[in-house]
Amino acid sequence: MGEKRKENAAVISQEKLAEGIYSMWIRTEASKSAKPGQFISVYTNDGSKLLPRPISICEIDKEEGKLRIVYRVTGRNTGTEQFSRLGEGDTVPVVGPLGNGFPIKEARGKKVFLMGGGIGVPPILELAKQMDCEKKQIVAGYRDMHTFLREEFEENGEVYISTEDGSAGVKGNVLDAVRMHELEADIIYACGPTPMLRAIKAYAEEKNIVCYVSLEERMACGIGACLGCVCKTKKKDHHSNVHNSRICKDGPVFLATEVEL
């Protein structure tokens, strides 16, 4: 684990944002050095579940020493379902911040797309808050009308919404919203499911736009123990001498041209 130690973070508050989507604020040392695009590994207090769940950081409040995570509950009696039962006064073991985060300095003076889909939407919020660029265009894709975090996004940039069922914004995905509104950008930051990132990568290559993707959806343990999150890359891994990277250790953010999706 290197210098990162497990700590018991205090739960400040928790609320349900939409069906299966929860938002939790925790007080943690990790807030002091956290950057947009990083994640924390959250452990259950249940001894039968040894591996943590990697959850992206949604908001960072360094002054108050707290972080916000917004996550999806993935089923009954899962780690995430146990997290959803926590409230003020509880503690939860965490390790972080982990991963490399988004390179935000490259956006200075540029027109930017911040693209999030599904549970890849939350990490885009802190990125939007810290982004210093000429034009900030937040393109968020949801399953349905439950467009969680939309109000927070509207305070931090121009917001364009897509939904799979057409109940809010443009019917379709984030690229459908880009095309419908005839949006343009010099650089893209994206986080979401693999098919979405694959489409964005192809779009960026076609338009010759620099693109960074966060592959956090593909992580299992978040601490490099399980090797369940390996992705194919152009660079050789100096340990195994193969073209693979561990998303949790080498990512989760990669230059899109560096990874096979």
Residues 137 and 201 in one domain: yes
- Name the DSSP letter for residue 116: E
Residues 93 and 184 in one domain: no
| DSSP letter for each residue of 41-84 | EE--S-TT--S-EEEEEEEEETTTTEEEEEEE--STTSHHHHHH
Measure CA 139 to chain center.
Answer: 14
Domain count, the chain: 2
CATH code of residue 254: 3.40.50.80
Residue 79 maps to a domain: yes
Neighbours of 85 (CB within 10 A): 10
Residues 173 and 248 in one domain: yes
Residues 82 and 119 in one domain: no
With bands split at pLDDT 50, 70 and 90, how would you rate the model's confidence at 232? confident
Cβ neighbourhood burial of 173 (10 Å; 0-12, 13-18, 19+):
buried
Residue 129 maps to a domain: yes
Q: Write the pLDDT tens digit of every residue in 115-172.
A: 999 999 999 999 999 999 999 999 999 999 999 999 999 999 999 999 999 999 999 9
CB-CB contact of 218 with 259 (8 Å) = no
pTM: 0.93
Residue 2 maps to a domain: no
Residue 1 maps to a domain: no
- Phi (first) and psi of residue 118, to 5 degrees: 60, -125
Residue 48 has pLDDT above 80, yes or no: no
Q: Write the pLDDT tens digit of every residue in 67-108.
A: 999 999 988 888 899 999 999 999 999 999 999 999 999 999
Residues 92 and 122 in one domain: no
Residues 91 and 112 in one domain: no
Residues 111 and 83 in one domain: no
- How many Cα atoms sit within 13 Å of 86 on the Cβ side? 28
Instruction: Choose one of 74, 98, 122: the last residue of a domain.
Output: 98
d(CA 54, CA 220): 7
Residues 138 and 243 in one domain: yes
In three-state secondary structure terms, 135 is strand
Residues 109 and 71 in one domain: no
Residue 117 maps to a domain: yes
Instruction: Choose one of 98, 114, 132: the last residue of a domain.
Output: 98
Domain that holds residue 158: 104-258
CATH code of residue 71: 2.40.30.10
- Tell me the pLDDT of the chain averaged across its residues: 91
Instruction: Choose one of 98, 119, 135: the last residue of a domain.
Output: 98
